[in-house]
Amino acid sequence: MTAVAPTALAPVRQKLSADEVLMRIGVVLVGCFLLLAVVLPIWALLKKAFEDKSGNFVGLANIEQFFATPSLATSAMNSVFIALVSTVLCVGLAFVYAYGLMRTCLPGRGFFRIVSQIPLLAPSLLPAISLVYLFGNQGFATWLLFGHSIYGPIGIVIGEVFWTFPHALIIVTTALAIADARHFEAAQSLKASEWRIFMTVTLPGIRYGLISATFVVFVLVITDFGVPKVIGEQYNVLATDIYKQVIGQQNFQMGAVVGLVLLTPAVIAFFIDRIAQRRQTALLSARAVPLIPKPNKTVDWAFFAICSVIAAMIIIVLAVAFIASIAKFWPYDLTPSLKNYNFDMMDGGGWESYRNSLTMSALTAVIGTAVIFTGAYLLEKTTRFSAPRSIVRFLTLLPLAVPGLVLGLGFIFFFNDKDNPLNFIYGTMAILVLCTIGHFYSVAHLTATTALKQIDPEFETVSSSLKVPIYKTFLFVTLPVCLPAVLEIAMYLFVNAMTTVSAVVFLYSPKTTLASIAVLNMDDAGDVAPAAAMAIMIFMTSAVVRILYTIATGSFLRRAQAWRRR
């Protein structure tokens, strides 16, 4: 024992097993992937914002020029205005709708839930196009605007509220879901009025959810490009300016500055959202009793009425796009016809772009799910190696703070550089897939992490004590057990790849035109009905994928019932 003592005090460094070496390599690879798909492009964009046309550092000159250009400054004001108004409206509506779903016994809850998700399945261009048909100069409800024009702020706000609605709804619904029934019972036993309970229990309980939703929506709106592009006309906002600067004038430096300006609120919102979410989860004590709403005829029917109106609006917007797409010549000849689906005679790449979108979405779903789920697994399960892991973990969340438009721009700057050895992927399907995975990485990663946290943490320990290599356990246990989450990630990536416009609008090439971009280009060329038709194609494809997902998950759960009973 005395012989052992001196060495015994020396710090012990554990030898690495083959598994650990492999996993560390994996973590590093995931880090490299994120570096490539997010960090370096953003870095390229930041650098560009401080350079002149020939690449010399010019400090704040570009930024000064931005603020000195009256049209850009106006756009900035417009952007903030639109984002504020849309956010207030959207979060307000989402709150009422969510309240109806979670805290009342309104009939048709399942139906309302499904309808609320519709906007997620279409590009943001779709509501804008519908609004043209609804409230444009030839719209059938134009009189509702009392002489105001849908082109400009009104149209942008309505369109933005439409497509950000489900995003806000999900957050607020989650916040409402974790209420503790005991608080309400306590308040009721103290004879507090309904209103008082609402103000002192309900609202404080979801305040972080509301904060989170507010910032998420604000950023989505201020960085959205589809709606103002279609319906904004002369009402300029930053998101369309960035496009004009970059595509219209090929002024990359100014584009980078606008990108920087858009990045700022997104980054702020990112941090506030993080804090809010942490606080929100902290509100939920482990012993919370779930709140089960009690029927109350008046309240239930009142919310049924309100939710019906909101749901009807969503359905109308979708229906109008569909009707417009099958009308022969709006508004003069409304006989049904598939003429508008003859995309090959239009701008935007024709049916080829639809096929490209399918390819791109499928590749994004397959590769993205593999990378993201494996990455989440590695980050969860790699032992020690904590500094690299926390760096990579931070990188997985970074995309949340980067608007698609900014990421896409960063991609041009980074990959279209002649000196970049990866320059060859510029203009290919690969860059679209890479960018889309990067763009939607975080949410998918969080889904994977949540699923992984729910399974027993000792699977890996058990398997290494049984001398089974870790990848076998990953393949034969972890993956099957997490299959619902894996399917959800794949579905999420597919649908978003189908509908995204903002990041890829800078990156497509003639061989890789995409359906969502075709919607944009056809609308740009004045082919509004074919644009609506393509948007409907995107919607239907996403809807089918979502339905397939639901069926697959359902059958999986049924098959796996035997071992999933917890």
Partner 1 sequence: MRRFSTSATLFGLALACAVPAAAGELTVYTALEADQLKAYKEAFEAANPGTTINWVRDSTGIVTAKLLAEKDNPQADVVLGLAATSLMLLDKEGMLMGYEPKGIQALTATYRDPANPPKWVGMDVWSSALCFNTVEGGKKGLTAPQSWADLIKPEYAGQITMPNPASSGTGYLMVSAWLQLMGEEKGWAYMDALHNNIAAYTHSGSKPCKQAAAGEYTMGLSFEYRANKSKQDGAPLDVILPSEGVGWDMEAASILATTKNVEDAKKLLDWSVSKEANELYAKSYAIVAMPGIAKPLEFVPADIEQRLIKNDFAWAAANRDRILAEWSKRYDGKSEPKS
Partner 2 sequence: MAVRISATRTFSSTCRAEVALSRAKAEEAKPRPQQPYLSIRNLTKRFEKFAALDNVDLDIAEGEFVSILGPSGCGKTTLLRAVAGLDVQTSGTVHQAGRDISNLPVSGRDFGIVFQSYALFPNLTIAANVGYGLTSAGYKRQEIEKRVTELLNLVGLADQAKKYPAQLSGGQQQRVALARALALSPGLLLLDEPLSALDARVRARLRGEIRDLQRRLGITTIMVTHDQEEALTMSDRVVVMSKGRIEQIGTPDEIYGRPASAFVADFVGRMNFIPGNLLSDSMVEVKGAKLDFAEPVGLGRGSAVTVCIRPEDVVLHRGNGSDPNRLDAQIGVMEFVGNHFSTVLHAENTNLNISADFSMNDVREFGLASGKTVPIRLPPDRLRVFPNPPSEA
Site map (CB under 8 A) of partner 1, residues 65-104, x = contact:
-----xxx-xx-----------------------------
Distant-in-sequence, close-in-space partners of 344: CB < 8 Å, separation ≥ 6: 350, 351, 352
d(CA 249, CA 42): 21
**Contact call for residue 483 and partner 1 (CB under 8 A):** no
Q: Which does 464 bind (CB under 5 to 8 A by kind): partner 2, partner 1, none?
A: partner 2
d(CA 14, CA 447): 32
Nearest approach in angstroms of CB 360 to partner 1 is: 11
Q: Which does 5 bind (CB under 5 to 8 A by kind): partner 2, partner 1, none?
A: partner 2
What is the phi/psi pair of residue 317, to 5°? -55, -45
**Contact call for residue 134 and partner 1 (CB under 8 A):** no
**Contact call for residue 552 and partner 2 (CB under 8 A):** no
Instruction: Specify the DSSP class assigned to residue 180.
Output: B
**Contact call for residue 541 and partner 1 (CB under 8 A):** no
Q: Which does 458 bind (CB under 5 to 8 A by kind): partner 1, partner 2, none?
A: partner 2
Whose Cβ is closer to partner 1: residue 184's or residue 440's?
Answer: 440
Whose Cβ is closer to partner 1: residue 11's or residue 147's?
Answer: 147
Distant-in-sequence, close-in-space partners of 239: CB < 8 Å, separation ≥ 6: 79, 222, 223, 224, 225, 228, 229, 262, 405, 502
Site map (CB under 8 A) of partner 2, residues 437-476, x = contact:
-------------------x-xx-xxxxxxxxx--x---x
Nearest approach in angstroms of CB 252 to partner 1 is: 7
Single-letter residue type at 81: F
d(CA 566, CA 554): 17
d(CA 515, CA 346): 12
**Contact call for residue 17 and partner 1 (CB under 8 A):** no
Site map (CB under 8 A) of partner 1, residues 318-347, x = contact:
-----------xxxxx----------xxxx
DSSP for 24-83? HHHHHHHHHHHIIIIIHHHHHHHHHHTB-TTS-B-TTHHHHHHHH-HHHHHHHHHHHHHH
Single-letter residue type at 482: C
Closest CA to 127 of 251, 231, 236: 231
The half-sphere exposure of 388 on its side-chain side, counting CA atoms within 13 A, is 19
Closest CA to 220 of 265, 257, 256, 185: 265
From the list 264-272, 459-467, 490-498, 507-515, the region that binds partner 1 by CB under 8 A is 507-515
**Contact call for residue 56 and partner 1 (CB under 8 A):** no
Whose Cβ is closer to partner 1: residue 71's or residue 386's?
Answer: 71
Q: Which stretches of the chain bind partner 1, using CB under 8 A?
A: 22, 25-26, 29-30, 33, 70-72, 74-75, 132, 136-138, 149, 151-152, 233-236, 244, 247-250, 252, 329-333, 344-348, 363, 367, 370-371, 374, 378, 416, 418, 422, 424-425, 427-431, 433-434, 471, 474-475, 509-511, 524-528
Q: Which stretches of the chain bind partner 2, using CB under 8 A?
A: 1, 4-5, 7-20, 383, 456, 458-459, 461-469, 472, 476-477, 480-481, 560, 562-566
